[in-house]
Structure 1
Amino acid sequence: MQTQIVIRNAELSNGLRTFAEEKLAEALSRFEQNVMTAVMRLEDITGPEKETGRDKLCSLHVKIRTGDIVIKQEHTDFRAAIDVALDRLKVQLGREIGRAKRGIAEG
């Protein structure tokens, strides 16, 4: 499984990058056999010089054997955006992998 963290329009501390890496690894650990790649993008939508509310975006793009899962979560804080996005990802991964195991096609 390959993971990658991409940062755009934001200046993140090493602590926040480490937080993101650890949280992503933890969230995917249960699904390692099914996940091929995972990309987390962290972006400050309005740029680092402006604080305008929910302007921190955490996007997740995960490729599994049966397709792709894309999650986007905006929040006022990167840590909160990461936590909520990863919680949503774990639920979606559980659903998709469960469907595949039961042989249920999408649609």
Structure 2
Amino acid sequence: MNLRGFKNWKLKLRYGRVRTDFHHYTLLADGEVVSPNAEYGTADAGPAFFGMSVWAYNSDQATDMIRTIGQHVGFACTGKIYVYDTEAEEPPGAEPRGYNLKFTRYERD
């Protein structure tokens, strides 16, 4: 199902005119940038938070997704992962997917 071309896709999902097996989550993971990646603004290795929005079947799959995608872009989840049920900014697709990948560096005391 590709809703990107549909106007008012949020309303269609909300009122059941279109159905999806996915749920929308926003995740925040504490960890380390292990391989700098200029495409995502992680020029230096070190501690960071990694945030991402996902369409997934459940929160367990969403958690697996942030770990796997994080590894793919040079991030290791070494701390807690927070999962929030949130309203989507982009429509679901035919497969689980992540979007809005953001990194926020911080300094340890």
Structure with higher RCO (Cα < 8 A, 6+ apart): 2
Larger % of strand: which? 2
Q: With structure 1 as the length reference, what TM-score do the two structures score?
A: 0.31
Which structure's residues are more often helix, by fraction? Answer: 1
Flag the structure with larger Rg: 2
